[in-house]
């Protein structure tokens, strides 16, 4: 990764929590080793830098990178129209309508993994114990077998 791209990402990751920053730093390292990045490195890193503060970090890094390349290559014309527009120099928020589509894609992929049970949310689980209506409540939490033998 060139120093220019590193500065873009470093600046974008400065506002992230430590764990999120580490996740995206690892993604950036993997991107620098991926030959697909050489095709349009400015687009790849701009989309990632503009998105990191909104992206969930639950997807495997390889899958996130796959979504990133698919998005960049599929939206290359839209991205080029914005970054080669002179207004972009003064207003970086012009990229947000495009990168929000990428964020939506990643969130949708994350939800699929969550629904499939591949992502542990860390939420506390409520476990419930059921028992039969035929006197189960009297024996809860255990049955006193000595009382039955005394009768």
Task: Give the domain ranges of the chain.
Answer: 3-115
Q: pLDDT band for 84, please (50, 70, 90 cuts).
A: very high
Question: What would the mean pLDDT of 31-55 be, rounded to a whole number?
Answer: 92
**Which of 75, 129, 122 minimizes the C-alpha distance to 100?**
75
Look at residue 118 in the predicted model and tell me its pLDDT: 79
- For residue 5, is pLDDT > 90? no
pLDDT of residue 131 exceeding 60, the answer is no
The least confident of 42-51, 63-72, 89-98, 114-123 is 114-123
What's the pTM value of the predicted model, to 2 decimals?
0.76
pLDDT reading at 47 higher than 60: yes
Question: Phi and psi dihedrals of 85, rounded to 5?
Answer: -80, 130
Backbone angles phi, psi at 31, to 5 degrees: -65, -40
**pLDDT digits 0-9 by tens, 87-114:** 999 999 999 999 999 999 999 999 998 8
Asked if pLDDT for residue 4 goes beyond 80, the answer is no
**Which residue has better confidence, 117 or 86?**
86
61-79 residues labelled b (16+ CB within 10 A) or e (exposed): beebbebbbebbeebeeeb
Q: Within a 10 A sphere around the Cβ of 106, how many other Cβ atoms?
A: 21
Look at residues 18, 10, 72, 75 and name the one whose alpha carbon lies nearest to residue 42: 72
Per-residue model confidence (pLDDT) at position 125? 62
Which of the pair, 136 or 91, is modelled with greater confidence?
Answer: 91
> Residue 83 burial by CB count (10 A; 0-12/13-18/19+): exposed, middle or buried?
middle
Tell me which residue of 81, 62, 74 sits closest to 102, measured CA to CA: 74
């Amino acid at each position: 990764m060139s120093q220019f791209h590193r500065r873009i990402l470093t600046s974008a990751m400065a506002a992230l929590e430590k764990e999120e920053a580490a996740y995206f730093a690892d993604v950036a390292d993997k991107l620098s080793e991926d030959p697909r990045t050489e095709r349009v490195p400015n687009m790849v890193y701009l989309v990632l830098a503009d998105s990191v503060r909104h992206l969930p970090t639950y997807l495997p890094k390889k899958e996130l990178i796959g979504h990133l390349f698919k998005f960049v290559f599929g939206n290359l014309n839209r991205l080029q129209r914005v970054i080669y527009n002179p207004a972009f120099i003064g207003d970086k928020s012009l990229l947000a309508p495009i990168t929000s589509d990428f964020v939506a894609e990643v969130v949708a992929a994350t939800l699929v993994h969550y629904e499939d049970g591949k992502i542990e949310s860390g939420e506390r689980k409520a476990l419930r114990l059921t028992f039969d209506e035929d006197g189960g409540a009297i024996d809860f939490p255990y049955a006193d077998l000595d009382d039955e033998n005394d009768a």
